[in-house]
Amino acid sequence: MVLPFLALYLTTERGLSAGRAGLLLSLYGVGAAAGTLAGGWLSDRYDPNKLQVASLLAAAGGLAVLGALRSEPALATALLGFGAVSEAFRPANSTALAAACRPELRLRAFALRRLALNLGMTFGPAIGGFLALRDYRLLFAVDAATCALATAPLFVLMRRPAAAAIADTEYRTGAPSAAGVAPGASSPWRDGPFLALMGLVTLLALVLFQVWGTYALSLRELYRLSEDRIGLLFAINTLIIVAVEMALVTALARRDPLRVAAAGAFLLCLGFGLTPLGSDFAFAAFAVVVWTLGEMLAIPLTEGIVANRAGAGASGRYMGVFATTFSIAFVAAPALGTAVYERFGAGAVWAGAAAAGPLLAAGYLALAPRFRAAAAG
């Protein structure tokens, strides 16, 4: 609930400029980068379900503290720490999910997880916008409560069924799968094609993560939308994902995932590039539909590739690097986006996003033969 409104909170409630707000949001990304790498490393050594519980509880405490702070140095410190503890959840969650199912099911499993996440995001920003209009302190308090409540089902799921334990053994020992996916390198840092793919993912995330900074500011400036209307636009994004993504990923399961992701990256950037071309809610919603389609084609398929590429005992590290690409983007995206926004205006931000589309599509297509060869091997 909080992240979509942090830029507005820091500028309207704390009186910071857009540029200063962007720098503070970048500190969240710095903490997130450290948290995802640590979370991935720890997930290869400890129970990832217990790590998820620890991350959620720490995030709940971080949100409660963050909503009570006033000074810029205190906010900066809190955002750095909050990013670290909250984002450690991602690689632990990905590792636990990949270990709980067989390789041929992982693509659909990650799509199902995204469905669940986006079901929450359907209500989160809409409720968050409603709360923010009344009192931002309510926004932080409710988000902290949801983090704490999310630990309850994880305590139950720690008692995994035997089938999940078998899948976990295959995953961590690199046993051959029915899908014929070749195990990846034991370290993601020595896997050249994987690192090249992570570079593309970082650029894609730089565009996508403008939603946490300049996107809300642009909607306020160009469309004159209030927080609750901005929350509704985020809800459109997540409702489409909930309704369509699982079926879409299943239908595309036999296609080359990197070729599909190339089309998705192009559409995501195009959708954001449309932002300055309209002025009413209907056009903003249309642009959301375009970039949401791109998101559905690019993100879950890429995550499935990463899950199947990890070698024996390296799943947490691969997932940690994958999550870290998003954290790095979160460091750069708010600072870069808000700096361009302040200096050149919203149009320049979204023109840059549109220009990234063809570059990403070409990069994904160039890597596709390398990943097909690895799978065939």
Choose the most confident range, by mean pLDDT, from 246-255, 329-338, 344-353: 344-353
pLDDT, one tens digit per residue, over 320-344 is 788 788 878 877 887 788 889 888 9
Report d(CA 3, CA 257) in Å as an integer.
30
Mean pLDDT, the chain, integer: 82
If one compares 48 and 271, the residue with the highest pLDDT of the two is: 271
Q: Please tell me the least confidently modeled range out of 179-193, 230-244, 282-296.
A: 179-193
What pLDDT does residue 313 have? 64
- Find the helix or strand (DSSP H, E) in which 123 lies: helix 106-134
CATH of the domain at 274: 1.20.1250.20
Report d(CA 326, CA 117) in Å as an integer.
16
Q: Is residue 79 over pLDDT 60?
A: yes
If one compares 366 and 39, the residue with the highest pLDDT of the two is: 366
Confidence of residue 358 (pLDDT cuts 50, 70, 90): very high
Tokens (6 digits) for 255: 């296609």
Q: Is residue 175 over pLDDT 50?
A: no
Model-level pTM greater than 0.75? no
Q: Is residue 128 over pLDDT 80?
A: yes
pLDDT, one tens digit per residue, over 273-289 is 999 998 889 999 999 99
Q: Is residue 292 over pLDDT 90?
A: yes
Percent of the chain exceeding pLDDT 70 equals: 90
CB 264 within 8 A of CB 295: yes
Average confidence (pLDDT) over 293-321: 79
Q: Which of 367, 24, 372 is nearest to 204 (CA)?
A: 367
Average confidence (pLDDT) over 53-71: 89
Q: Is residue 377 over pLDDT 60?
A: no
What pLDDT does residue 374 have? 57
CB neighbours of residue 199 within 10 Å: 12
H-type helices in the chain, by residue range?
A: 6-8, 18-43, 48-66, 72-87, 89-99, 106-134, 136-149, 151-157, 162-173, 192-208, 214-223, 227-240, 246-251, 257-273, 281-309, 315-344, 346-376
How many domains does one find in the chain?
A: 1
H-type helices in 46-88, by residue range?
A: 48-66, 72-87
If one compares 79 and 187, the residue with the highest pLDDT of the two is: 79
Structural domain for 217, as ranges:
3-376
What pLDDT does residue 180 have? 31
What pLDDT does residue 259 have? 92
